[in-house]
Structure formats: structure tokens, C-alpha cells
Structure 1
Amino acid sequence: MDIAKKAVILRKILRYSLATLAVFALLGASALLLPKSLAEHQLWLWFSAATLTGLALLSILYAQSRRRLAKLTNRVKLTETRLRALRVAIERSPTSILVTDPKGFIEYVNPTICRFTGYSIEELIGKNSSIFNSGKTPHETYVDLWQTLARGQNWNGRFISQTKTGDIYLEQAWIAPVFDEQKKLVNYVAVKLDISEQEFALSRERLHNQVLDLLSRNKTANEIFGSIIRAVEKENQHIKCAIFLRSLDGVSLQLATAPSLPTFLHHALQQIKITSDGISVSQAAFYGKRIITDELSTQAKQVKTASAAVRAGMLACWAEPIFDVDGKVAGVLNFFKDQPGAPNKREINLIENAANLVRLVIERSQNTALLKLAETVYHTSSEAIAVTDAHGTFIHVNPAFTKITGYTAEEAIGNDHSILKSGRHSASFYDEMWASLNGSGQWQGEVWNRRKNGELYPQLLSINSTYDTDGSVKFRISLFADISKQKANEELIWRQANFDSLTGLANRRYFQEVFQHSLKMAQREKHNLAIIFIDLDEFKPINDMFGHQYGDQLLAQTAQRIKTPLRDTDIVARIGGDEFVILLAGNPSKEDALLIARRIHEHVLQPFEIDGQVSQISLSCGVSMYPEHGKTEAELIKQADIAMYHAKNLGRNQTVFFEPEL
């Protein structure tokens, strides 16, 4: 017992002793005041006084004990209530929670971790927490974990873990040590959150940007294919990828790359004839649609390539056709899996994402092949060459110069190169060019020039100098090509990466990019933003009645009608089959947003006539405002989506402004 507690007990004893003496003395003194006739009874009175004093003190102690017991009972009830609430919160938490002893053996898990990992509570209690280890978490992570916990500090980080069936997932973990009153370690508490989907989305975004970067740097198709395959196989380690390209004669598929497949299977897949009864990749090219073979062994007896794949441990095969700009099958993206079964939702998303990237590469490769062919011809006969003196006066030009610039040799020779200037470059641009020429004798880059007819065009220009015997510049030789087509291709790639091919509207990625920029501007300027979430009413029945081609045309025309009332500062994106979202910038008011939504309704409600068939469609709109309804893109779109669904529930064909009550 510590000194403070002893002091409290001594103070209580002293207080009760003093109270007892006071009462006893008071009663005894009162006995002295009695008549003499009762004096002989004073001893009895003193005894009575002592008895009454004792009874009085006992009554006081009993009352105090009752009060303390009542307080203690209330505290116990309150604690039990709080513990029940805490247990419900833990049991129903969307995060995984487990408690271990100091050696890491599990003492408690909540149901969430069981639902997620596939283990039952009985299978986990008493087991070491290493049961979730996949072997893929870096060793340094565990070193940091135990060093941090050993210091008595909380730790947070990421684990690459696995479920009971061996599926890999990424989780963010927070782990804290628990100590008793003597500061002895008694438990570890871990809270874990599965972040696989978020990480997959980020990795796919990074891959998309990586592919665009490789395309912009003119890397070969096989180099870019390799990057795509490595990313896919890293995300799902049960999958091995192969990319096939259609042969020039169109009757077979040729293996472009399959870096992870064994050599014998690689050889077996080198060339596959396109047929209706071959392996999945062959059928995908033949029918022009996704082919799923969830049990590859069923084909092994009839198809040699399927037999080779089974021998390599591949038990399922999924093939996705890749179409070129003309809508023809240009290749096939093939997934082999070491487990039988059809792809799940996440794997389908993985297939589609990878197929889109492969399509971009194939289209670019086709364009690049054409450009290389044109470039070869150009170098041999028609690349523009111009020779000037040290000061830039034309001395000689070839016919290609005339073809590109419009100036004949007679018009160019004797004139300064400034006749080609476009006026788009600053004086400092030319100062840097001349500084490079005077310093190193050469310059290379892109420049905008002007043709004789006034038209501006981009050039890829290379200038080299030749020198006289005294070291002075004798000539400057310029070689240039018109790169308008290349710029157009880069613009096409950018549009394909940022816009929906059916409607021409922004896609989700580009919309998010613009949205983030607009949010920063709105925060800085303290302006409003408005989000209008649109979903077409009863689109599916129209699509089913008239066919998908009709439905596609209806979506395309509807997209243009939605876009018509918008201002230059606004952007609309197609984010789903028949879902659209609009960002209104420029500090709009609630009335502005509702006015634009009403105008969109008016435009869309007009009848459509497509291929001789007339139809009419309406839409439901939900509106949210920044900063009133949220500070982030996700919050604002969610609130607008909620309002849109409320519009649906109210009978469709109307606009609902978000309110917290929704």
C-alpha cells in the first residue's frame, strides 16, 4: 500500500475517533445536569451515552456504505453498457481487429477478419498471427515493426498477406502494445484494412501513364507489351500473359511476346491458325469476342496448343480480342491461369484495362510503321535540305524544300531564313538556337514555321555547321521534315487516353484530372462548384427493343444534347453505360446549376429519330455544390448520385438538389 492510501485511511480513523469522543462527551456531560435524585444513576447514564454513541456511528457508517455501494453499482452498470457498445462496434467494424499475446498468438478476432480471410474463429484462436503471412512482405517491414513495438510505440505499415485459399491481398495495419498497471506487456492489438482495390486502381493508373510515356518516347511495341504484361502478372500472380498479333494475310496469329511462359509452350504458341474450334485465343480472333475456357483440360485431347498449356500447369484460358481503328481484330490478349475457373469481377476489370492499353500500342505501332515507311521514302528522295551561309542566307534548297514551304528555289536563294518565321517563337527562343549554333555548331528541335501561303506547320529541324580552314563557319546545313502528322497522332493518342470513343465526351480519368484542378482553383478563389449527376431513364428497354447499335447512336446524340447548354468553363464526362457527370466551374450558384439542368432536360426530351425509328428518353439529375456538400471529388459526386437516385424514386424525369436529409 502506498503512502497516499495510508494517509487517507489515517485521516478517516482520526475523523471518526474525534466524532465518537465528541458525541460521547456531549451525552456524558448532559448526565451531570440531571437532578441529584438521579445522580446515583450517572454510571448507567454514561453507559447509555456510550451505547447511543456507538449506535449513532454505526448508523452513519451504514448510510455511507449504502451510498458508496450505490455509486459502485452505477459505475459497474455504466461500464457494462460501455463495454457492450464497444463490443458491438468491434464485432461490426468493417476493419479487421485481432488481439494477440506478447508472443503473437491470437486471443481474439472480430468476424470481419474471418469473412475476409476465409478462416473461422476456431481456426484462428491460439494460432500465431503469422498464419496470414504470404512470404512477400519485405523483411525490413518486420524489422521496423518489432523495433517500434519494443520501444513501446504504436506501429503502422503495410503487409502483403494471404487468405486461407492463398489469395494475396494488401492491407494497411495499425498495431499497438497494451500494458498493465505494472507496465508489463500483456497484449498486442492490431487493426487492419484491406487496401488492395485502392492499390490496384493506383497501379493501373501508373501503368496507363507509363504506357503513354513509353509511346511518347517511341519505344518498340514489344518493350511496351513487356511492361503491360509485367504489371498484370504482378497484380495477379496466378496469371501468365501472352500477346498475339494478326498476321498480314489475316489467317493466323503470331506470338508477339509471352515472357513468363516456359520455352516449350512458347514454341507451341508461335503461330496459331484462326479457327472456330481452336484454343481460346484462336476463337477470340475468329468470333471477335471474349472467349472464356474455365477448364482447359477439356480441350487438351483435341487441341495441341491446349495440351501444351495444360502440361505447363495452365488450367484456364481467357482471350480478349484487340480491335484496330477500322474495327478489325488486330490481335489477341491471352490470359493463362494456373487454377480452373472463369474470371471474377476484379479479373475482368484487369482484362479490360490491359486490353485497352494493348490496343493503344497496336494502333500506335500501325501508325509508326506507316510513318517509318514514309520516312524511308522521304530520306531517299524528298527530305527538305537547305544550305545557308554563316548568317542564314539561303544558298541552295532541294525540291522537297519547295514542296514543304511553297517557296521555289529562285524565291528562296538570296533571302534570309526569316522568310519562314511563323511569329510563334519568342526572341529568346532564337537567341538560344544561335547560342547553340555558335557554341557547338549544331541545333536540333521542333520549330513552327510558315509556308508561303501563310499556313503554320511544325518542323523537326536539325542544323549542322561546316567550317573553313580558319575555323570560321562556312555553311549551315538544315534538314527538316514536316511533322504535322506526327503531332496529329500525338493528339489522337491524347484524345484516346482522355475521351470516350462513343460519345466524344471526357472519360472518367480526364474528368478527375480537371476536377482536381478546379477544386484547387475554387479553394484558392473561394468560389463555388456544382456537380450534376445524370442517369438516363429507362434506357435499357430502348436498347433491348431497337438493338445495341441504335442504343449507341442514342447515347452519342444524347451526349451532344447534354453538352449543348454548357458553358466554356464546364466539362461533362461519360462515367458509365448511361451515366454522365457535369462539373460547373466559374463560381455557379444553386440557381445556375438548376437552370442548366432544366435546359438539359428540355434538349434531351426532344424526340430522337435514328435509322427511321423514333424514340424519346428522359433523364434524372442530382445536383451537389462545393463547398456546401463536400470538399472532395468523391464526396461531391456521391452526394449528387444520392440526389439523382432520389429523383428516380420520385418518378424520374426531374432534378433533385442534394439535401442532408436524403
Structure 2
Amino acid sequence: MFAPEKQMTRLVIEREVNIQGHIRWVAHPEHKKNRLLIIEHQKKLYALPLYCQHAHVSLLEAKMDDNGKVICPKHGLTTDLKTNPEVFTVERQGDFFVTNTLPLIETKTVETCEEDLDHQTELDVLKTVNSALQKKVLSNLESMDSMLSEVEHKKVELEANNQHLLSVNQLIDSITNTMEEFLVVTDNQGRITRVNRYAESILNVKAKELIGSSPDNFLRDETLTEIIERFPAKNWDQRPYLYRAVYSNDGFEQEIRFRDPTGRHKDVSQKYFLLKGTLIYGSAGKEEGLILSATDISVVKAKEKQKRQADIEKHLQLLQSTLSTISQGVAMFSGIGDLQTFNESFTTNINVDSDILAQIPGYEVLFSNNQEILDPQQIPPCQKLISDKYQWVQTFKDGRIIECESAPTPTGGFVVTTRDITQSRKNEEHIRLLSTTVEQSSSEVVITDTEGTIVYVNPMFTENTGYSAEEAIGKKSNIVQSGEMPAEFYKELWSTIKASNRWKGEILNRKKSGEKFWQSMSVTPILDNNGDISHYLSLKADITKQKRAEKRLRYQAEHDLLTNLPNRSVLLHQLEDSIVDARENHKASAVLFMDLDNFKDVNDTLGHLSGDILLKLVARRLQLCTKSTDLVARLGGDEFAIVQNDITCLDDPKHLAQQIISSITRPFKVDDHLLHIGISIGITLLPSDGLDTGILLQNADMAMYEAKGVSGSHYHFFDLELQKSIQYKRTIETHLHHAIEYDELSLLFQPKIDIQTGLVVGAEALLRWQSKELGNISPAEFIPIAERSGLIIKLGSWVLDNTLKHIAAWSQSNITVPKIAVNLSTIQLLDANLILDIETALSTHQVPAHKLELEITETAAMSDPELSQVQLEAIKNTGVSIALDDFGTGYSSLSYLASLPVDRIKIDRSFVNDIQFSSQSKAIIESIIHLGNIMGKIVIAEGVEEKEQLCLLQDLGCHEVQGYYISKPITADQFIHFLNNKK
């Protein structure tokens, strides 16, 4: 606690901010403008300047470590809350902070003379004061002359110093440019300030291209990655990685090769350099920057590499010259089985490339544990080969057969020789297997001469085509042609095989019975001993079932299974084709994005089976509205889209949209029901609205939602105004999120009066928003946005809380206030927490329930009749009254209306506006009043703006009215004044 005898200074709180879960305050001393930041650390409150004195950057969101040091976000310097002389402690007292540490501004007062002094004494005092002032002015003038003289001397000194610095810089440039060493200098932020000529030549750039850039730019990616890993930087340090490395290690040294820092992919030096980095400090010990120097070490590196290479090559040449004279494969192993050397024949026999073989550990991996060898367990183990000779045959999974022989070596190891006997074994089996394989093959085998005459067919040919071998041999191979393959197909086939190349593809052939079937076919030329083509071998397989399955799968992948319309993927491909057409052939197209109106009601009332039948009927009608060149697709749910190609003017998509609306709005017969639905259509054009599939679909979707906003089936074209409107609505939503936090909301109250007595019987609380950024926003604009975004719950709670706060304040002032009404949206009415929120708010503000009325629209009550009924009855049980707003514009039944626990019925202003001119409106109002009297409800008319309207409503027996004729929405103070005048 502060000592009570010291004078306390109050700090006025400007705002309170939550920074990463911790509260901070911006404040200023009373009667002063200097702004302070107040931070809590270890249960104490500290005040420090809001702006860093070095960088003049706000410290409001600056990080603070566990020791109470605030880190500047710009340059990383810290302010210690416990030791910094500019920091002092404060305490919270109510809405202020107080301190006795902040120096107070001393003020001097001129003591007034005693009233009983005579005029002469007053004159003497004035003369004395005047004389003192004259002396002070003369003294100040002399001081100013002295200061001006000193400034002139300093100016001369500075000019001399500048000239000296220029000479020094020129001297430094001359020295560094004569050095045959790479040299770069940076400032203390890591920006390059000086580059010598040698560095320019190495990097192949001019110094002016590097000045101000980062030295990281001339490091190769692998070097930069290694530096980042070795020297991780703190979050506040935004200097180049190379600078951080030097700073972290108090120096730096590494072998590197440079890259082009400008990114122009020019060739730069491929030499190796030893790069060194050293920090530069000024005379006062302040860090001034960094010196990077690099020395060419390419010659040393090259010599080391040449020596190592020469030793290796000499050893290998000696060993290989010995082994290369042996025709068999030879591999030498140590006593423990390590592979020491081998020849080329060995690599060929075991089918392992020499480069790979050099990396294999030894015998066990090559033989005993080789997964490519069949039965490797039959191969003798390494331990036996050291002492005895062995012979064995090993078969590889790829079919090769290798004969092996081993013998011990005098050095305690062993040598293995190999010989490939695969071909000899194959030759033995070849003749026996050939005929059996071909005859029993599941593939159709046909051999023809070079003219295409059949000389051999196997049994599978007869099974596939129905032609016997006797019927086929001697005939041309085209006896099975279907006649449906294009001439180019056979031309390409023959040109391929005549060039001694294999041909492979799919072909549609015809059986002897006339049935067509698909085959996969490969044709391979057979060469004689001279390398000339003697025959052609054709292998075929029946793939008819596979083709049918592929066709079925492709159809399923590209179509909606319910409506059989193309799906979204096909639509996207069509859009891509239309975009190409627009670019290359200047053809225009339109995209129509459609959503069914009231389709959910069909599913909810008749079930999803009826909904599916309805979607099929809609799809059929859409197809009947379009041309063969158009594409109709179902995107999912009740969303459809059409790509209308080759349009000539705006009337084409317009007429199509009108035709679709006319078709869809006709009733559909589903089972025994006649269903009426609507459709909303958004239209975008290409190329005028875009040449990107995503943008086009987004544009059409935005236009569709604009059309859906109009009651009934409509279409709407996408345009820039629509895009601006949507962007504006998004801007409103963004700012609306902070409206409560920024204290931008307010309440107005529109009085309600008894039509007979003229007394105020209540008022309606109306929400208003004055945005600091956007200005005044109409409720008609922001309320629908709040409902769509879910913000209406938060706004509704604010309105209820502040309305009850006003009622409580008026009651404490002994003002008798009538019932105040608050509007509830559909979303609020269906909120499960609504009743609890109402009861909590009433209890918090100690307001009786009968002082509050909640207004709901007829449409809101009908959005979910069962839940609405439950919610309204629960509200009624709290003692809060209920008014049904906009009555007569909805579609509720009288039986449902009678069951609702409402106290008031509000006649919609649309009927009141026409009461003088429309007998129909007058009759509707009279019916509503009569209905209200029957059900015991109070009837109130809203929107009364003229005296004649008031008189007619009075004649019809209306109970209460509100509107501009009575009073426009007014502030809380104005409402109390209005209330007092009406008593």
C-alpha cells in the first residue's frame, strides 16, 4: 500500500485489452497527455511508457518473459519492470489507477495583496515585478546570442567532420577494392552496406544490386538450411540467418560455394570459399554490423580430392587387371564373409550392378540370406567355406540358374566362382514347354506370315471366334474384323509392326456367329536369323465383360444415381471446355445455378421417398427446357446447374430461366399429392464474368442467393454491384462482431398509447448501431446479417440486458414506467437457453416480469410450431407477456393462433398504410380487431403516421397504436420526458 501522507496521482484508464489471456491497460495521468502502459507481473501493477523510446513502437502487445522484462517487438531491446527508472508501481482504485511515484507538476501562485494595502504599495510592487521581468528578458537574450554562436561553431565542426568521414570512406573503398578477398559489410540489422570489387566479380553482380539486401541471398539452400538448424533464432530476431549465426556464436566460419543473389540464374563461381563472419562494434561498444570475408580454398580442396582419387584408382586398377583375365565370375571374401573384391562376370551372374554390389556387406546377404534365391538354406554357410571346397547350384526367382564353386584362401578367407547355366537348362525345357504352353494358353494365339495369312491358331482362338483351325488357316486375319474400327486404326497397326516394333491395343472384332466382342491384342514381329521379319505373333484376350464394367463404372462416376443427370465433376469438365471455347473461339456461355424453394417442406411432410420422386421429376423438366448442346447437372440435395453453350445475347439465358421457372412452378403429381414448389436461379456469363470454374460457380451461387432473397421464384444475373453488395454485407458482419466491444450499440424507445385515452401504455425497445468505421447502419441491413451469422443471439442478449437496465434505473428514480417490449428473432425463439437467459436477466436487474414484453413475428412462430409452442408457454410461465408482431402477413391457421399464449396482436404496418385507400385493408384490420376481441387479445396497430389513420383505427375499435404520428423512436431521456407530458 502507498503511504497515506504522500500526494497521490490518479491515472485515467483509456481502455482495457486482453493480450494472450492477460489484462493490460492504456492510461494517462490526470490533466496530462503522456500515455502509459500498465502491466501486471507477480501480482504487482507496473506503469511504463506506452511507446518504446528507441523505435517509437507500441508495447501494448509486446511479449514479457518470466523475469518481468518487456521485449520490444521491433528491435528486441528489453525494459526491466523492476529496475528501469521510467517504470513505477501503481494500485487500482475503482475506475482509476493511483501512484505516489509519478512526479507531480508544481505550480506557482501569485499571492494576492491584502485588501487593506493602499494604491501606492500596489504600484511599488508592480514596478518591482516589471524591473525583474526586464532583467530576465535581457538575460535570456544574452543566453540566446551565446547559444547561436555555439551553434555556428558546431556547424563548422560538423562540416569538417563530414568531410573527414568522406575521405575515410573513400580510403576504405580504395583499400577493400584492391583486396583479392571476398568482403561484404552489413549494418546492425543485417542489411548489406558495402561490397568490394572482388565480391562483385565472384557473385557476378554490381554492388548497387546488393546494397540493402540480405547476405542470406548469396548462400546456397543447403548452407542456409544448415545455419538455420545450427543457430536457432529467438522469435524477436528478424535479422538474416547468417547475421544470427555470427551473433549467436560470436563469430562464424564455414566452407561454402556461392549462388546468384539476384535469382537471375546466372553462372556464379563454382569455387570453394572459407566464409568468416565477425561482428563490428563502435567506439562506445555498441554493435554496428557485420563483416563477412571469404578466402578461395578451391586449390587446396582440389589437391586433396586428386590425391584420394589417385590412391583409390591405383589399387582398383591392380586388382581389376588380375580379375578381368578370368572368364568366370569371381568374388573374394574375408574370414567373416565380408566382400573384398569381385570381377564383372560375378556381377553379371548374380544380376547386381557393381555400384550396388560394392555396398552389400558380404556372403550371407548375397547368398544365404538372399530373398531372390530359391531355397537359400541349401547354400553352404560361410563358416564351412573357410576350410572346405563346395559346389552347388542356386536358382534365382527371375529364373536364372547359377553354378557355384568355393575354395578356401591362404589368408583365412575364401573365393567363390560362378557360371551362368540358365540358357543350357532352358534349352532343354524349351521344346517341351513351347507346344504345351501355346496349346493350353488362356490367351488366343494367332501366327501369320508377313502378308497377314494365318498359319497357326491355338484352341482358344476357336473358343473365342467360333472358327475352327481348318477354317482359319490359309485365310487372312481380317476374317474376324467387325468393320467398325476406323481405317486409321489398321494403318497405324501395320506401320508399327512392319517397322519391327510391337503393337498393343484394344480392338472390336466379330465372331463367326456375327456377335461383336472386344479384345485386348498385342502383335509382335518374329525375326529370322538374318534379322528380317518372317512372321507375326498375335496374342488376344476377350475383354468384353471388362469393357462393360468400365462403361458402367464410368457412368456411375459421372452421373447422379437418383436423377441420372451428370454430376459436379462432369459439370466442371464442361465448364473447362466452355472456357477453352471462349478463349480460342470467342464463344459465349452461361451458367445457371438453381436451388428449389420449399423442398425441405416436402421431405418433412411427405418423407424422403416423395422428395426423391420430386427430384426425378424436376430433373426431367429441366432436361425438356434445354437444348442438346446444353448440360444439365445435379450438384447434390436440391441444387442443379445448367451450362448453356453458344449463347448469342443476354436474352438466351434470360429466356431459359423464364422457361425453367414456368416449368418448375407448375404442380407436380407425387402419389396422390399435387406439390407446388418454386425455384431460384443465379446466372453468370463467360467470358464476361470470369474464365475460372471456381469463380464462375461462386458468381452463380451469389446471384442465386440474391434471387432467393426475393419472395417467389426468380432469377438474377451476377454483376459487379451484386459482388459489391455481398462484400459490403461481409464488411458489416465483420464490424458487427465488435459492435458491443466498441460500445457502438444503443437503444431507442417508440411509445405505445391507448387509442381512447391517449395515455402511454408501453414502448418498444429498438436496437440501433452507429459504427465507428461504417457510420450509421440500418437495422434492416444488419439484423438479417446477424441472424444468418448467429450473432443475433449475442445482440438479442445485449438488447434484453440493456432494456432491463433502463427499467431498473427508472424504477430506482421512482418513475412509473409501463411495459417495455423487446423483439425476439426466429433464431432466439428456438434457442434452448432462451428461458434461462430471460430468468437470469430479470433476476440480475431485479425487474418484475410484468414490466417486460417479448415480441415475436408470426413467421417466427411458424418456423417450428411445436418448439415455438413449448417456448412461448415457458415464457408465459415466467410472467413475461408476449406480442405477436406483423400479424396478417404469415400463413398461420386460426386454430394454431388460438393455441398460442400471446397477449397482444400487432397489425402489420402494410395494412395500416392503405387503410384510407383500400377497403380490403380496412376489412382485414376490422377482422383482426374482431378476432382479437373474441380471443381476449389486445390489438395494437403499428406504423400510424397520419391523423386520419388514427381516427379510422379508433372507429374500428383498435385498442392501442404506435407510429411516427404518435412519436418516432426516441432516446431513454426523451421517452421519460414524453411519458411525463402524457400524464
Which band: TM-score by shorter chain? 0.3 to 0.5
Q: Looking at both structures, which has the greater relative contact order when contacts are Cα pairs under 8 Å and sequence separation is at least 6?
A: 1
TM-score, length of structure 2 as denominator length: 0.28
TM-score, length of structure 1 as denominator length: 0.40
When Rg is computed on C-alpha atoms for both structures, the one with the higher figure is 2
